[in-house]
Chain A
Amino acid sequence: MIQMKDVYKTYANGVTALNGINIDIDQGEFVYIVGPSGAGKSTFIKLMYREVKQSKGTIVINNTDMSELKEKKVPFLRRNIGVIFQDFKLLPKLSVYENVAFALEVIEEAPRNIRKRVMDVLELVGLKNKARFIPDELSGGEQQRVSIARAIVNHPKIVIADEPTGNLDPETSLGIMKVFEEINSKGTTIIMATHSKDIVNTIKKRVIAVEDGLIVRDEHRGEYGYEA
């Protein structure tokens, strides 16, 4: 599903973020990405949906070689990957409903299906009664959940989350993790970068640790391994 071989990334300003990454993640896996800030977690994740292009090495996502992927085909790759951004990336002038519906409009879903699916997914994240609000009227945690709803509404094969519980209280975080586990149980691959020791150590999954642009640890049902 996701394969990286000797992947390097050096940014235009000379900063080297990744120093030779090798990874193989299968369909249906649930993976935590852990590591200190600035270790390269975000870059590692951004490579998967082509917000960032590797400088060297091979990346294969969904059987597509990313170095051969044409610019025009990038949107179609992204439609199979739901991304939950650290800063939410909601469209500020659109309502909660419209933000989530946007992901379905993009794939030209029929309007009658859009309504039902958006309401279903808003119910799943507990925001059904706030569908008409705009992002500014919501708390950080609520915006986070809108972002999650948008990422999963079109049933992507992969869900990538960058610190999805960073702004949430423990109770809401647990709710979000339940949603992830549920869609994971239906076969969706989940990649989640996190700083939450509690979550990693409680809900045991594969743990990949990134430090200084290298993978230093990769274990099934692993521990967080850092002081919180």
Chain B
Amino acid sequence: MTNIEVNTAMKLRTGKRHLREGIKNIFRNGWMTVASIGAVTTTLILVGAFLALMLNLNQMADNIEDDVEIKVLIDLTANESQIKSLGEDIKNIDEVASVKFSSKDEELENLIESMGEEGESWQLFEQDNPLNHAYIIKAEDPVDTIDIANEIKGFEAVQEVNYGKDVVQKLFQFNEYARTIGLVLIAGLVFTAIFLISNTIKITIMARSREIGIMKLVGATNGFIRWPFFIEGLLLGVFGSIIPIAAIIVGYYYLENTLGDKISLSFVELLPFNPFAWQLSLIILAIGAFIGVWGSVMSVRKFLKV
């Protein structure tokens, strides 16, 4: 064998040794392992439930915001070239995502359709349509709606700009608050989780600080000592996320099937089980693995200075 082959073989079997030791430690530490997994489980259930709530609320807020559009009523006296140049001007606003021209006939059709049976009486106007041509505009980011509307007001051949001013303003404000609060809460929760779990793990490792000292005196490098702890932490995190993931999948499935039918407002719509529940599970697994490894490796670091 060449030197490189020998080195790779050595690394491979050392890796296998660390894996074996990490798994063995899970069993050697009995109740401490149970305590750590319990801490991970509890916090991940909280984080998971909260994430599900926040992401759904966020989605609803997005849905509402996506429905916001600006309708520019074009002055009745405007001629074709004025209408065209107005369209160009609107397109040139940076924050505008799309501009759609809607002729007065289309506008009337939409109106009749939206009014259902009552709309029939409007059919009389098909001969002499009193409505305006209109541009329907969507903003790149719905938050810019108000600014865009104000800018368009100053353009020529504009009769009126409609976007439900009061509602939109309050809505955006509310959504912004909701998102900020949610973000802060999630960050706080994850931080607390990390703190809690790393503390539990730290206690289990503290009990082993003497062992770490002994390993160092026998000639083990820091890396050699750290790897089994890394694997142990990873496993603790993964095991700790099993119950939360199961709870999320079952709970969300149940919620969607019962609640989903009762509430049928267009914007109050839960994120679909597939793929949302799976994505959330993956996030929970990742958070679990991360805090397990982080808590373990950070705690062991303290005892490596012998």
- Which residues of A come within 8 Å of B, CB atoms? 49, 51, 72, 75-79, 83, 85, 89-93, 102-103, 105-108, 110-111, 150
Contact = CB atoms under 8 A, between A and B. Distances in A.
B302 interface: no
B211 A92 contact: yes
Interface in B189-223: 211, 213-221
A91 B215 contact: yes
Interface of B: 10, 13-14, 17, 28, 211, 213-221, 224, 306
B216 A108 contact: no
Contacts of A91: 211, 214-215
Contacts of B215: 91, 102, 106
22 contacts: A72-B221, A75-B216, A75-B219, A75-B221, A89-B213, A89-B214, A89-B217, A91-B211, A91-B214, A91-B215, A92-B211, A93-B28, A102-B215, A102-B218, A103-B218, A103-B219, A105-B17, A106-B215, A106-B220, A108-B10, A108-B13, A110-B13
Contacts of B214: 89-91
A106 B13 contact: no
Contact of B224 (A49, A89, A106): A106
A89 B213 CA distance: 9
Given A90-B214, A92-B211, 10 more contacts: A75-B221, A76-B219, A78-B218, A83-B217, A89-B217, A102-B218, A103-B219, A107-B219, A108-B10, A150-B218
Contacts of A105: 14, 17
A157 to B, nearest CB: 13
Query: In terms of DSSP, what is the predominant structure of the interface of chain B?
Result: helix
A79 B14 contact: no
A115 B218 CA distance: 18
A216 B10 CA distance: 48
Contacts of A79: 219
Given A93-B28, A108-B13, A75 B211 contact: no
Nearest to A77: B219
Contacts of B10: 108
A153 B237 CA distance: 37
Contacts of B224: 75, 106
Contacts of B220: 75, 102, 106
A96 B214 CA distance: 15
Nearest to A92: B211
B32 to A, nearest CB: 11
Nearest to A83: B217
Contacts of A108: 10, 13-14
A106 B219 CA distance: 7
Nearest to B28: A93
Contacts of B14: 105, 108
In order of increasing CB-CB distance, the 3 nearest A-B pairs are A78-B219, A79-B219, A75-B221
A106 B217 contact: no
B157 to A, nearest CB: 76
Contacts of A107: 219
Contacts of B221: 72, 75, 106
Contacts of B211: 91-93
Q: Which of B14, B214, B218, B220 has the most chain A CB within a 10 Å cutoff? A: B218
Contacts of A106: 215, 218-221, 224
A65 B214 CA distance: 24
Nearest to A91: B211
A85 B213 CA distance: 13
A51 B218 CA distance: 11
Nearest to B216: A75
A169 B64 CA distance: 85
A126 to B, nearest CB: 22
A106 B227 CA distance: 12
A111 B10 CA distance: 10
Given A91-B211, A93-B28, A106-B224, A49 B13 contact: no
A111 B218 contact: no
A92 B218 CA distance: 15
Most buried by B among A51, A93, A110, A111: A93
Given A92-B211, A108-B10, A49 B217 contact: yes
A12 B218 CA distance: 25
Contacts of A92: 211
A108 to B, nearest CB: 5
Contacts of A111: 13
Contacts of B306: 51
A180 B129 CA distance: 112
